[in-house]
Amino acid sequence: MAKIDIKQRVRIQKEPFSIEEEIEKIKSVSTRIGGIVSFVGAARDFSKGREVCQIEFEHYPIMAERALEKVREEALRQFPIIDVTIIHRIGMIEIGENIVLVIAAAQHRKEAFNACEWCIDRLKKTVPIWKSETTPEGKIWVEAHP
Amino acid sequence: MGVVVVRFFGHFKEVAGRQEVTLHVPDPSSLNHIREMLEETIPSMKAIQKQVVGVAVNCNVIQGDVVIHDGDEIAFLPPFSGGDGTVVSEQASALGARPLRSR
């Protein structure tokens, strides 16, 4: 089993991420992995009745990274999975670009599905990241998005 | 006297009109005192206190009043982009909240 570098598994970054590369990385952790579930959040051009031109994310450095690591640690404790990757982008994001990636790897698909859903829900509730949308009417901060 | 920095995120940054403010306060001070001083320095912050879902001191979410020391960094956090603004304790717990005065 390869040594796990948590910085590879949990990241907040401006740059786009490669879903395929991240899946290959998590697969290299263990040959016991038999089910991999990924969730990708992307920037859409319409939200709450408004056209959206651009989305910007900001985070509280250090605190957000810690919170994200905690999501991963809790997922590994709560679910019979092998590993989880969580990546969230910050900065200006164009419509259609990917924003967030969660990959859960387990021996079987059910645990991977459950862990993946739990991680994205938990991330949204507990990681100090804030989103603003640029609309034709101006910039709007989005704070309620269950 | 001590110096503390209060940081603003999300729309609080726009309400405050800045990213952070440096306050000169007695060392130690209480968080409540800092809050009062902040509202004196930036009156617009008073109106948004009800929207605060958590308070972080040196990146640790705290609950209630705590002792603030010289060099501490404080952030009054607006609801996160994915939260519904009503899960203060859950957010605090997940972020490693510390009990009153245990820092």
Query: Mean of the per-residue pLDDT values for chain B?
Result: 82
Phi, psi dihedrals of residue A73, rounded to the nearest 5°: -60, -45
pLDDT of residue B83: 53
Residues A92 and A100: their CA atoms lie apart, in Å, by 13
pLDDT per position as a tens digit, A38-91: 999 999 999 888 899 999 999 999 999 999 999 999 999 999 999 999 999 999
> From A70, which residue of chain B is nearest by alpha-carbon distance?
B94
pLDDT of residue A48: 80
Residues B66 and B101: their CA atoms lie apart, in Å, by 5
pLDDT of residue A146: 41
Q: Do A62 and B79 touch (CB under 8 A)?
A: no
Residues A142 and A48: their CA atoms lie apart, in Å, by 10
Taking an 8 Å Cβ-Cβ cutoff, which residues of chain B contact chain A?
A: 7, 9-11, 14, 56, 59, 75, 77-85, 87, 90-91, 94-96
pLDDT of residue A6: 72
CA separation (Å) from A23 to A18, A90, B64?
9, 21, 42
Residues A41 and A28: their CA atoms lie apart, in Å, by 24
Residues whose CB is less than 8 angstroms from the CB of residue A61 and which lie 6 or more positions away in sequence, other chains included: none
Q: What is the mean pLDDT of residues B12-28?
A: 94
Q: Please indicate if any CB of chain B lies within 8 Å of the CB of A146.
A: yes
Top pLDDT among B84 and A143 is at A143
Q: Do B78 and A130 touch (CB under 8 A)?
A: yes
Q: How far is A143 from chain B (nearest CA, A)?
A: 4
CA separation (Å) from B3 to A9, A78, A116, A130, B103?
37, 42, 43, 27, 18
Q: What is the mean pLDDT of residues A115-126?
A: 95
Q: What is the mean pLDDT of residues A127-137?
A: 93
pLDDT of residue B96: 47
